[in-house]
């Protein structure tokens, strides 16, 4: 199971929110690059980079931070937040993203999202299926769509999507443990899907202790995104080094 630390960016700074609420912003570092370098020094290979300004503005904003981290570390970065157009995607990949995550676009403009999968390949495009009481949340989690999470994932499975990030918003930033039942349900139902294409589920939200990681691994999660637990020293980079 891949360990994927998260860096969320507002105004070029490394921040965390609680349940996606911009009013709960807490700044952890003025330099996302320095944070990324400490991850890399601990043997971490992957990074989940979220442009929160972009999510709000509905277009890519913090691509310079992406460019900086991509050019000055060897981290494999998946980048998300406000990617809406072919131009946004072009900028993200040109700035060094290995993968991009599309959430709102996959709900609101499936044709464009499908076009990205066809153009760049399913290995480079991650489906963001963030859960708000079982429904897919969009627009930087400020809106709840009518799409139900599992049928939504299954519909994109049929369109050859491989990677799926699912954050249970009620758990995000709460440090109360991940949404094990939800992930179990997704993995079970999507493994039995008629598409024959099994998904690589990346768990996100609520991770609070190192002991939770083997549970997610046993469930069959392909990766896990860890944010606040690292910044609040609930999980040390030393512990992650051993797990990796």
Structural tokens at position 167: 């954050």
Residues designated catalytic? 8, 130
- For 50-62, the DSSP string reads EEHHHHHHTS---
Residue 45 is inside which H or E element, if any? none
CB 78 within 8 A of CB 49: yes
Dihedrals φ, ψ of 52, to 5°? -70, -30
Tell me the backbone φ, ψ of residue 200, rounded to 5 degrees: -105, 100
Backbone angles phi, psi at 69, to 5 degrees: -65, -40
Spell out the alpha helix ranges (H) of the chain.
32-41, 52-57, 63-72, 86-94, 104-108, 110-120, 149-157, 180-191, 212-219, 228-231, 237-243
What span, in angstroms and rounded, lies between the C-alpha atoms of 23 and 98?
Answer: 30
Tally Cβ neighbours within 10 Å of residue 11: 12
């Amino acid at each position: 199971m891949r360990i994927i630390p998260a860096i969320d960016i507002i105004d070029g700074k490394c921040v965390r929110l609680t349940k996606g609420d911009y009013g709960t912003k807490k700044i952890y570092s003025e330099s996302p690059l320095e944070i990324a370098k400490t991850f890399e020094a601990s043997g971490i290979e992957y990074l989940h980079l979220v442009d929160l300004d972009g999510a709000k503005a509905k277009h890519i904003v913090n691509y310079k931070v992406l460019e900086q981290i991509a050019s000055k570390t060897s981290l494999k970065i998946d980048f998300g937040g406000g990617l809406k157009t072919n131009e946004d995607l072009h900028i993200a990949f040109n700035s060094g993203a290995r993968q991009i995550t599309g959430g709102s676009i996959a709900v609101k403009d499936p044709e464009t999202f499908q076009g990205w999968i066809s153009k760049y390949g399913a290995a480079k495009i991650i489906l963001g299926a963030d859960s708000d009481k079982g429904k897919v949340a969009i627009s930087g989690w400020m809106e709840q769509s009518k799409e139900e999470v599992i049928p939504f994932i299954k519909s994109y499975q049929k369109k050859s999507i491989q990677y799926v990030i699912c954050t249970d918003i009620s758990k995000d930033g709460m440090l109360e443990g991940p949404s094990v039942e939800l992930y179990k349900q997704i993995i079970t139902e999507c493994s039995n899907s008629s598409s024959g294409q099994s998904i690589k589920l990346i768990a996100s939200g609520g991770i609070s202790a190192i002991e939770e990681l083997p549970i997610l691994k046993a469930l069959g999660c392909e990766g896990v995104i860890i944010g606040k637990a690292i910044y609040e020293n609930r999980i040390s980079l030393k512990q992650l080094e051993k797990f990796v």
